Chain A
């Protein structure tokens, strides 16, 4: 290693700058998933939906103090700023320094808690031990009751990972790249098996913990907010189909709470990395979040949205709209009879409006004005639905016709994509007018809860209206 070791005495301010800068590419910043009151002894509680405390200049939510324990890393992953071959300033916190920062920030209501990741100092075990010591101090000496998200270091002793998990709300192991081949190319020190092993361990331990909790309500809780992971999008040539299939199997086979997608930012000048002249692939990231949303809440399967023959998501339409256009034989559906699952598949109908429809139609049959009140986006839905057997206008159920018409309906992209070049090109199709401020604000107001969490999670998860 050619970098010079920075002396411990580096001021906390310098360490904070270096180690937050080094942690910023990790997208997960949500503080959701745990609800816990103050234990009466110390400071802190957890709020189930998560709370955003600020927004950075890139529009991403700041909820947790997101830092690395150290960026002195023995590995040389090619996409990473902290790789051992880079000549960047290095720093390592002490557990006490982190505790002081967390407490000082938390008392002032700057943060919901801590997101602690790390480069690998000396060895995985050595690093994991430091993370464990930090959490132990924070929980038992500083009596911190707020949110903690910690990384499990692949290759570390399972016993250490387990001990740490009992102190954290969420644990994550980053998948980094969607396929084993991608890892081989860009992160030779990591293998798929090495990454999946701690993921499996956390999953099994959570399962056991559920049984313990069923027996003894006061049993200590293991990773109560569940496990998440992250994939870098666009550093390697995987298709959206591959990526979504991986995500799907992670949800199904590893019981993950969330999979995060991180548009690749080219921080290293390395011939193995793609050039990305248009900047990080933000629209692609957004489409993946939307598709991910469909997997988790709308009952879709990856294989329905994409296939070997159509391996990438449509940039023009959100994935649900795209699916509907390719399955016109299933439409129109009758609002007063269609099952909840069917309603969910209609463009313009979200989870909330589908639930409201099912509830409201028990009291009497619904017509278009009712749908409008319920929150259905009629200008999108109208091609796909009937009320009491009638469509809103005389429409043709025909792909070209609907496609043309839908292109004129502005898609409400999240503000994260406002400056996106690809989107600006696309907006040629929708009246040539990007979304106005007012429309954005309206969008925010309309989907407050969902957006807050979505924004918190990744700076722009998929939402459907």
Chain B
């Protein structure tokens, strides 16, 4: 009988599931991983809920990094951010494969293996989304000088992009708010960043912006419109490259609530 390990839909949740499934010694062919609230219940299966355990998750990720290389670690992290219901099991299969090989770094290249191929596809999807967020995210300066950004990405890319901003805006206090998941990444000037539930942050959305904020927004809008070449005008192309769904929070498309006058 197949045992299905049901884990929380997060990187740590899935990695804990990998740990538990492995540790159960039921045999890889007898276990499956699934994230919560996905799939219909199957008869003749045993369901085992998995409690997220940071230590176990950390152990698995370290092992992946050591035995299967940085590429595999990245693939696992990015794939876990996607919404595909097969992702947890595919990640498990990839790790099982990698750890069974003499050279685990080759596992991510075995694209003829359906699980590996799926992880690779998901990795690409999340990577593409994260990559775009690195550019399209917009910070606004609050009155106390804190930089505040909002987004609603389809995948859980916040932990994937936060390190980039932690390095880039090292001397700044900043908050990136994922409104869809109610999560935020918070960074203290000169320090590290951490992920937190964002209930307390809803007030920030309405908090007033700093004195120069509006001025910079206007300057940026002016720049964006004057830099376009009229003779090459091509809104369709613009929309292909910068889909509408990103625009609600982008300054140059009239994101700021205080600027309704300009719209």
- List chain B residues, Cβ under 8 A from A12: 219
Set of chain B residues within 8 Å of A61, measured between Cβ atoms: 241
From A60, A373, A418, A419, contact of B111 by CB (8 A): A373
* B112 near A45: Cβ-Cβ < 8 Å: no
Task: Tell whether, in the assembled complex, residue B222 and residue A17 are in contact, meaning their CB atoms are under 8 Å apart.
Answer: yes
Q: Tell whether, in the assembled complex, residue A57 and residue B124 are in contact, meaning their CB atoms are under 8 Å apart.
A: no
Q: Could you give, for residues 58-94 of chain B, a 1 whenever the CB lies within 8 Å of some chain A CB and a 0 otherwise?
A: 0000000000000000000000000000000000000
A59 on the B face (CB < 8 A):
yes
Q: Which one of B14-22, B32-40, B131-139, B178-186 is at the interface?
A: B131-139
Q: How far is the CA of A58 from the CA of B170 in the complex (A)?
A: 34
The verdict on A119 contacting chain B, using a C-beta distance below 8 Å, is: no
How many angstroms from the CA of A60 to the CA of B238 in the assembled complex? 7
B139:A108 contact, CB within 8 angstroms: yes
B135 touches A265 (CB 8 A): no
Task: Tell me which of A35-43, A123-131, A290-298 binds B.
Answer: A35-43
CA distance A58 to B147 in the complex (A): 30
Partner of A60 from the list B109, B135, B228, B236 (CB cut-off 8 Å) is: B228
Q: Does A282 contact B (CB under 8 A)?
A: yes
Scan A168-208; emit 1 where CB is below 8 A from any B CB, else 0.
00000000000000000000000000000000000000000
Query: At the interface, yes or no: B263 with Cβ under 8 Å from chain A?
Result: no
Contact, CB under 8 Å: B171 / A42? yes
The answer to whether the Cβ of B234 comes within 8 Å of any Cβ in the partner chain is: yes
B9 contacts A by Cβ under 8 Å: no
Q: Does A440 contact B (CB under 8 A)?
A: yes
Say yes or no: is A215 at the interface (Cβ < 8 Å to chain B). Answer: no
Contact A415 B226 (CB under 8 A): no
Most chain A CB atoms below 10 A, which of B165, B226, B251: B226
The answer, yes or no, to whether B172 is at the interface (CB within 8 Å) is yes
B231 at the interface (CB under 8 A from A): yes
CB-defined contacts of B135 to chain A, threshold 8 Å: 51-54, 63, 109
Chain A CB within 8 A of B194 CB: no
A448 at the interface (CB under 8 A from B): yes
CB atoms of A38 and B128 under 8 A apart: no
Are B234 and A448 closer than 8 Å at their CB atoms? no
| Closest residue of B by beta carbon distance from A359 | B109
Min distance, Cβ B249 to any Cβ of chain A, angstroms: 11
Given A108-B139, A359-B109, A416-B234, A62 and B218 touching (CB < 8 A)? Answer: no
Contact with A along B234-258 (1 / 0, CB 8 A): 1111101110000000111000000
Is there an interface contact between B222 and A56, defined as CB atoms closer than 8 Å? Answer: no
Number of B interface residues in the complex (CB < 8 A): 55
Q: CA of A104 to CA of B211 in the docked complex: distance in angstroms?
A: 13
Bound CA span A459–B139, Å: 26
**Pick the contact of B128 from A53, A414, A445 — CB < 8 Å?**
A445
Please state if B147 and A38 are interface contacts (CB–CB under 8 Å). no
In the complex, whether B212 has a CB less than 8 A from a CB of chain A is yes
Taking a contact as CB atoms closer than 8 A, the residue among A41, A47, A448 that contacts B124 in the complex is A448
Which stretch, A19-27, A70-78, A241-249, A345-353, touches the partner chain B? A19-27
Question: When chains A and B are docked, how far (Å) is the Cα of A260 from the Cα of B231?
Answer: 18
State whether B149 touches A59 (Cβ < 8 A): no
**Pick the contact of B250 from A13, A54, A57, A455 — CB < 8 Å?**
A54
Q: What sequence of 0s and 1s flags, for each residue 445-462 of chain A, a beta carbon within 8 Å of any chain B beta carbon?
A: 100100010010001000
A55 part of interface (Cβ distance < 8 Å): yes
Residue A155, interface by CB 8 Å: no
Minimum distance in angstroms from A325 CB to a CB of chain B = 29
Question: Could you say which residues of chain A place their CB within 8 Å of the CB of B170?
Answer: 38, 40, 43
A44 and B125 CA atoms in complex are apart in Å by 27
Contact indicator A54/B222 (Cβ below 8 Å): no
| Interface residue A232 (Cβ < 8 Å from any Cβ of B) | no
The CA of A437 and the CA of B240, in the complex, are separated in Å by: 8
Q: Does the CB pair A107–B139 fall under 8 Å? A: yes
| A146: B residues at CB distance < 8 A | 168
**Other-chain residue from B140, B224, B250 in contact with A56 (beta carbon distance below 8 A):** B224
A444 at the interface (CB under 8 A from B): yes
Q: Is the CB of A108 within 8 A of B138?
A: yes
Closest residue of A by beta carbon distance from B241: A55
CB pair B237–A373 under 8 Å, yes or no, is no
Chain A proximity of B197: nearest CB distance (Å): 24
Cross-chain pairs A/B with CB under 8 angstroms, 7 sampled: A24-B226, A53-B135, A58-B232, A59-B241, A416-B232, A418-B236, A418-B237
**Known interface pairs A55-B242, A415-B234; 13 further A-B residue pairs with C-beta atoms within 8 A, sorted by A's residue number:** A13-B218, A17-B222, A20-B222, A54-B135, A62-B224, A63-B135, A104-B216, A104-B219, A108-B141, A415-B241, A416-B232, A418-B234, A437-B240
Chain A residues near B (Cβ < 8 Å): 12-13, 16-17, 20-21, 23-25, 37-38, 40-45, 47, 51-63, 65-66, 101, 104-105, 107-110, 146, 263, 265, 279-280, 282, 359, 373, 414-416, 418-419, 437, 440-441, 444-445, 448, 452, 455, 459
The 10 closest A-B pairs by CB, nearest first: A59-B237, A415-B237, A56-B228, A58-B232, A57-B228, A55-B242, A415-B240, A21-B226, A59-B234, A53-B135
